[in-house]
Amino acid sequence: MVRVLRVAALVPFASALSSTHEAPAKRVAIIGAGAGGASTAYHLAQYAANSSIPVNITVFERASYIGGRTTTVNAWDDAASPIELGGSIFVEVNRIMVSATKAFNLSTADYDSTAQLELPDLGIWDGQSFVLVTRQEDGWWEKTKLVWRYGTAPFWTNRLMKAAVGKFLTMYEEPVFPWTSLSDVVEKVGLLGVTGVTGEQFLEANGVLGRFAREVVQASTRVNYASNLAHIHGLETMVCMATTGAMSIHGGNWLIFSHMLSSSPRITTHLNTPVTSLSKQQNGTYHLTTPNTTVPLQYDAVILASPLQFANLTLSPPPAHTPDTIPYTALHTTLFASPHALNPQAFNLPSTAKVPQIVLTTLPDGEDAREDPGSPAFYSISLHDYRLNPRATPPRMEYVYKIFSGVRVDAGFLSGILGRNVSLPDEAADEGVAGEVKHDGTTQPKLNPNAHVSWIHRKLWLSYPREYPRVTFEEVVLDEGLWYTSGIEGFVSTMETSALSGMNVARLVRDGWVAGKGGKEEEKEEEGQSEL
């Protein structure tokens, strides 16, 4: 699929101003075209239009694509076979993602391609056996099916999840929204008691003990955040359990953010354009430089929409507040295609058994809590699709798998889970990690399209922060005119929360402009609609 959006040449700021007969347009730079940056641009263009404020928004992205940690790759280099490499799903409570899907008339992905295989849907593997095999669409809340093993724990966990998510959703609405301090708003909506303890402590304090926490809830935190319950805070644990209405966009979730950036003539996007320095001027504006500029570009406001610790950006003078450097998870994502189903004997099943389409993992009973995958050796293996390999001779149907792991998946591991002697060419180590200077961080060796593994793509992500318990969070305002969306990462790290943070910053910027014109004025349209 071709990614289309408007990308203009960099020009000196003066040429971008409105005519002398109009108020000069506000000049805004957004650094990062992921979920946070795209949402900021999209909502700021709407808020400004609804308040009759002229604005020019310029988005700078150092990568060659839009979407940040939300991107696709093509199986067998076939453009008709895009596969999610990053953020794969969102759920029905994700208001911004769902609203944008409808606004841009995007189609959700169809997962019927694997239905014909008649495989068990989901299994939880502890490195020794499957402790649970169930149907994915049942969710975790089918008490009549799970009570025999877990008693009332699913019921109480569901209640805890709904209560936590309900408090979180008030952050979208007045009088809570918009917020100037994430720490204050988390306390205001009553979530400090959930973020300030581990998932294990939160569940135990609320009477959810034993197998359900260790097997089901921990399997969810492992697949979503590569974390065991003792090393992730309670709110992120509850987010992992909010799975109702899971969906993704046909062609890739990045399409939501691409459409956000192409939705308005007020937004211009520059790909392959890292910002190298940002300098605050005495008049409160900012000078911004890129490798493509000879004269600094001047902006009235700058929104940093990626973690500062990975931005490779010089700030002069240092801002009033500098975000803390926090640990991020290095997650190995491996996509591969094979004509072979998963080997049941690799999971201690009879040779005639069928392995579930989605294999989640948890620690076996008695194994101490730890930060690595433990004895299962990986976080998850999922059957992503079942489709035609057009490069094989003759073309053949193949399984497309995705593995999340803490270490690089090698030929020996693939040989074990497929029950075949898999051979891979020598590969150099991953070139880098997403978020560092070498942003791509992928390797994709050329394989024999008729081999046991016909295609493989590897990505080493700095996927999300280590969501340790915490009760304070990064500032939204780093300095006058300098805004930050990535502080929400330590609270909840999802496509939706990044988009919410972007919408929040957009509203704060707009409200500041309105106040500067003499007071608050009513918007012309309801929030979420646009004149664009």
pLDDT, tens digit (0-9, with 9 covering 90-100), for 19-74: 445 678 999 999 999 999 999 999 999 999 999 999 999 999 999 999 999 999 99
Identity (one letter) of the amino acid at 164? A
pLDDT at 514: 94
Tokens of 254: 């990045």
pLDDT at 116: 54
pLDDT at 370: 75
Q: How far is CA 322 from the centre of its chain?
A: 23
Q: In angstroms, rounded to a whole number, what is the distance separating the alpha carbons of residues 145 and 132? A: 11
Question: Tens-digit pLDDT profile for the chain (532 aa)?
Answer: 434 444 444 544 434 434 445 678 999 999 999 999 999 999 999 999 999 999 999 999 999 999 999 999 999 999 989 999 988 889 999 999 999 999 999 999 865 555 555 566 889 999 999 999 886 555 555 545 677 788 889 889 999 999 999 999 999 999 999 999 999 999 999 999 999 999 999 999 999 988 999 999 999 999 999 999 999 999 999 999 998 888 999 999 999 999 999 999 999 999 999 999 999 999 999 999 999 888 999 999 999 999 999 999 999 999 999 999 999 999 999 999 999 999 999 999 999 999 999 999 999 988 877 778 999 999 999 999 999 999 999 999 999 999 999 999 999 999 999 999 999 886 654 444 443 333 345 666 778 888 999 999 999 999 999 999 999 999 999 999 999 999 999 999 999 999 999 999 999 999 999 998 655 554 444 444 433 3
3-state secondary structure 458-505: EEEEEEEECCCCCCCCCCCEEECCEEECHHHHHCCCCHHHHHHHHHHH
pLDDT at 425: 81
Q: In angstroms, rounded to a whole number, what is the distance separating the alpha carbons of residues 454 and 401? A: 12
pLDDT at 147: 75
Q: In angstroms, rounded to a whole number, what is the distance separating the alpha carbons of residues 103 and 105? A: 6
Q: In angstroms, rounded to a whole number, what is the distance separating the alpha carbons of residues 478 and 304? A: 9
Q: Using CB atoms within 10 Å of the CB of residue 343, give its burial: 0 to 12 exposed, 13 to 18 middle, 19+ buried.
A: middle
Q: What does the buried/exposed string (b/e) look like for 29-65 if buried means 16 or more CB atoms within 10 Å of the residue's CB?
A: bbbbbbbbbbbbbbbbbbbbbbbebebbbbbbbbbeb
**Domains and their CATH numbers in the chain:** 26-67+251-326+471-519 (3.50.50.60), 111-150+328-465 (no CATH)
Q: In angstroms, rounded to a whole number, what is the distance separating the alpha carbons of residues 266 and 45? A: 7
Q: In angstroms, rounded to a whole number, what is the distance separating the alpha carbons of residues 36 and 68? A: 9
Among 284, 279, 301, 315, residue whose Cα is nearest residue 57: 301
pLDDT, tens digit (0-9, with 9 covering 90-100), for 402-433: 999 999 999 999 999 999 999 988 665 444 44
pLDDT at 531: 33
Q: In angstroms, rounded to a whole number, what is the distance separating the alpha carbons of residues 91 and 93? A: 6
